[in-house]
């Protein structure tokens, strides 16, 4: 049994539909049966703010 043929046009349409929904493409997988799977991109964590100096304790 031969593998299903996936064309560049089919891939382009799948990616365009994904982006039209407002999602970012994180990755793509094409299986032997011709299924195109697109995964969403993960958001990057916000950078942690660095403190300039040692912690200041409250005065009494």
Residue 15 belongs to what domain range? Answer: 1-33
Q: What average pLDDT is seen over the chain?
A: 84
| Choice between 26 and 57, residue whose per-residue pLDDT is larger | 26
- What pLDDT, on the 0 to 100 scale, is given for residue 55? 75
Confidence tier at 42 by pLDDT (50, 70, 90): confident
Please state, in angstroms and rounded to a whole number, the distance separating the CA atoms of residues 17 and 19.
5
Please state, in angstroms and rounded to a whole number, the distance separating the CA atoms of residues 30 and 36.
5
Counting every residue written for the chain, the total comes to 60
10 in any annotated domain:
yes
Q: What total number of domains does the chain contain?
A: 1
Span 35-43, mean pLDDT? Answer: 89
22 in any annotated domain:
yes
Please state, in angstroms and rounded to a whole number, the distance separating the CA atoms of residues 56 and 8.
60
Question: What global pTM score does this model have?
Answer: 0.60
29 in any annotated domain:
yes
> Closest Cα partner for 18 from 42, 45, 36, 43?
36
């Amino acid at each position: 049994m031969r593998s299903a043929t996936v064309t560049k046009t089919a891939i382009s349409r799948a990616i365009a539909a994904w982006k039209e929904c407002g999602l970012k493409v994180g990755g793509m997988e094409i299986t032997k049966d011709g299924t195109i799977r697109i995964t969403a991109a993960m958001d990057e964590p916000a950078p942690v703010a660095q403190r300039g100096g040692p912690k200041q304790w409250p005065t009494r």
